A and B are shown apart, each in its own frame.
Chain A
Amino acid sequence: MEQAKAEGTDGFDGFVAARWSALFHLARLLCAGDRHRAEDLLQEALVKLWFVWPKVADEAPEAYVRKILARAAARSARRRWWGERPVEALPDLAHTGDESAAVVERSRLEAALAQLPPRQRAAVVLRYYQDLPEKQVAEVLGCPLGTARSHASRGVARLRQILADVIEPVG
């Protein structure tokens, strides 16, 4: 019993240590770059995972965490106002001399994601970052397939407008 418990704890710790970076990045995209909120969200999801670890350890713990993260992100954004305010033009970013192009690009991406409604953002992130099919996006978000498809397409359309100067159309 104790050995199994210890193995379970070790398995959980190993999973968290191995997947922390990827899960944190997912949480950060879902929170539109808010690092602190992403950390809280991920921690909350991992606490929930800890209690069901014996059940989901052999199946798909990462899918479980992804579902909790996506739903919690949409729910918490609905429950509380996080100070997001849609604007016509993106705010000027603070540029420093040694800032790399990757950081600038990431900042622009996060600022663009912040302008999407939470469910659209979650659908876009799950669809394009996690590369999930639409059916699975709907399952993770807990909504019908048509709704998930609509969220994703509207979110992409909005991002297309916002990031038009960053991602130039081909041809």
Chain B
Amino acid sequence: MDHFERELARMMRDAQEHTPFEPAQQNGLRAGVRARRRVRAAQKAAGCVLVAAGISVGLFLLPHAPDRDRPLGPAPRPATTPVSPYATPSPTPTESATATTEDTAGVSGPPGTSTTTESPASGSTGPGDGGTATTGAPPTTEPATSSGTPTSSTSSPPPSGPGPSSSGTSAG
């Protein structure tokens, strides 16, 4: 600490003058304490009000939450139903696909044995593919199936079928 710094410290200390703690300052200090206490109380009250409002809003929304979820609640159902629809359709498409392929194959003819076994049922039920067989054949084919000649009727509708019936079905 050099001379200037010592002198500076001395000046700062010498500049101090005695200032008593007057009643006005005491009152001001107490007023400041009261004001700060009031501010703190107001902050605390505001905090309590905010907490209460938050809780009440939460309680208000809470009972509605299950109702809102309830329509969505059958979440298990979508969970189970997708399994069955996906499970059942998956076989059926394959079956239908196989059936169509078999039907088409049956129409086309090459796999002979399988088409011969299914053809009586398809011929009796469906007007779908074997139109010639259903229109003209049902009355005639059932006795014919009973007689045991359906294979020839189903396998050879277009070329060897009765002429008027086949022409009528193709027109209709």
* Residues of A that sit less than 8 Å from B by CB: 13, 16-17, 20-22, 24-25, 29, 39, 43-44, 46-47, 50-51, 102, 105-106, 109-110, 124-125, 128-129, 131, 156, 159-160, 163, 167, 169-170
Contact of B12 (CB < 8 Å), options: A17, A21, A129 = A129
Query: B77 interface residue, CB < 8 Å from A?
Result: no
Q: For chain B, residues 43 to 61, give those with C-beta under 8 angstroms from any C-beta of chain A.
A: none
Q: Can you pick out 30 interface pairs between chain A and chain B where the beta carbons lie within 8 Å of each other?
A: A17-B21, A20-B21, A20-B25, A21-B16, A21-B19, A24-B19, A25-B16, A29-B12, A29-B15, A43-B28, A47-B32, A47-B33, A50-B29, A50-B33, A51-B33, A102-B15, A105-B14, A109-B11, A109-B12, A109-B15, A110-B15, A124-B8, A129-B12, A131-B9, A159-B8, A163-B4, A163-B8, A167-B4, A167-B7, A169-B3
Minimum distance in angstroms from B110 CB to a CB of chain A: 95
Distance in angstroms between the alpha carbons of A121 and B67 in the assembled complex: 67
Q: Which residues of B contact A128 (CB under 8 A)?
A: 5, 8-9, 12
B172 interface hit (Cβ, 8 Å): no
A13 to B33, CA, bound (A): 13
Measured between beta carbons, the chain A residues less than 8 angstroms from B36 are 47, 51
Q: Assess whether B17 is interfacial by the CB under 8 Å rule.
A: yes
A125 to B11, CA, bound (A): 11
Q: Please provide the 7 A-B residue pairs with the shortest distance between their CB atoms, ordered closest to farther.
A: A106-B15, A20-B21, A129-B12, A25-B16, A128-B9, A47-B32, A167-B7
By secondary structure, the A interface counts as helix
Asked whether A39 and B25 contact (CB < 8 A) given A25-B17, A50-B33, A170-B3, the answer is yes
Interface contact tally, CB-CB below 8 A: 76
B9 engages A129 (CB within 8 Å): yes
> Smallest CB-CB separation from A159: which chain B residue?
B8
Min CB–CB distance B11 → chain A (angstroms): 5
Assess whether B13 is interfacial by the CB under 8 Å rule.
yes
Report yes or no: B20 in contact with A169, Cβ–Cβ below 8 A.
no
Q: Is the CB of A129 within 8 A of B13?
A: yes
Nearest residue in B to A102 (C-beta to C-beta)? B14
Contacts known (A24-B19, A105-B14, A131-B9); A46 close to B4, Cβ less than 8 A: no
Within 8 A of A (CB), among B92-147: none
A4 to chain B, nearest CB (A): 18
CB <8 Å contact, A21 and B32:
no
Q: In the complex, what's the smallest C-beta–C-beta distance from B18 to chain A, in angstroms?
A: 5
- Residue from the list A20, A43, A167 in contact with B8, Cβ < 8 A: A167
**Which residues from chain B contact A125 at a C-beta distance below 8 Å?**
12
- 13 new A-B contacts at CB < 8 Å, known A128-B5, A156-B5: A17-B21, A20-B19, A21-B17, A21-B18, A24-B19, A25-B16, A29-B15, A44-B32, A47-B33, A109-B11, A131-B9, A156-B8, A167-B11
